[in-house]
Amino acid sequence: MWGVEIGSDVFARQDDQGRADRVGALYAHTVTRGTVFGNVLAIDNY
């Protein structure tokens, strides 16, 4: 299992009360692989 996430702000501003608004782009990708043995709803899966 592994993953990667990258992102960056495109625009940011702060108002007089200190609150921040941010707009940006984000990309995330994950991969997982595996083998599972057991049963589901009392049905064996071997």
* Cα 7 → chain centroid: 12
- For the chain, the domains span 2-45
3-state secondary structure of 1: coil
The pTM of the whole model exceeds 0.85: no
Instruction: Count other C-beta atoms under 10 Å from residue 30's C-beta.
Output: 9
CA dist., res. 27 & res. 42, Å (int): 40
Give 3-46 pLDDT, tens digit per residue.
Answer: 999 999 999 999 999 999 999 999 999 999 988 777 777 666 65
CA dist., res. 32 & res. 1, Å (int): 4
Which of 33, 28, 25 minimizes the C-alpha distance to 4? 28
